[in-house]
Amino acid sequence: GDSVTQMEGPVTLSEEAFLTINCTYTATGYPSLFWYVQYPGEGLQLLLKATKADDKGSNKGFEATYRKETTSFHLEKGSVQVSDSAVYFCALSDNSGGSNYKLTFGKGTLLTVNP
């Protein structure tokens, strides 16, 4: 079945440091890929997405590129801020049969950014 493996945390960085959170996936078809972020005590917010190979999703300075050849979707940000402290989830939706209803998530990576 589908699966997502992402870098285990926690990750602790200083403000303005470079961030990479690795994510690889296994899927039978051609999935869409997502990064969601969860702030303390809140639900999930979509950070960015990519729906086909070589697409780059970007938002709020975060970027991730859909790499079919390496089955990866690594999250990067050039300069993190304290406000980026949160849990980040990589996820895929299996589009086989045209359905997008189910997300398979990685276990999440806790990011803490210190001033």
Partner 1 sequence: KAGVTQTPRYLIKTRGQQVTLSCSPISGHRSVSWYQQTPGQGLQFLFEYFSETQRNKGNFPGRFSGRQFSNSRSEMNVSTLELGDSALYLCASSLLGAGNTIYFGEGSWLTVV
Contact residues toward partner 1 (CB under 8 A) are 32, 34, 36, 42-46, 49, 51, 89, 91, 93, 95, 98-108
Sign of CA dihedral 50, 56, 58, 63: positive
Pick the closer one to partner 1 by CB: 13 or 110: 110
3-state secondary structure 42-70: CCEEEEEEECCCCCEEEECCEEEECECCC
Smallest distance, Å, CB 49 to partner 1?
Answer: 6
Smallest distance, Å, CB 17 to partner 1?
Answer: 26
User: 3-state class of 93 per DSSP?
Assistant: strand
Smallest distance, Å, CB 62 to partner 1?
Answer: 15
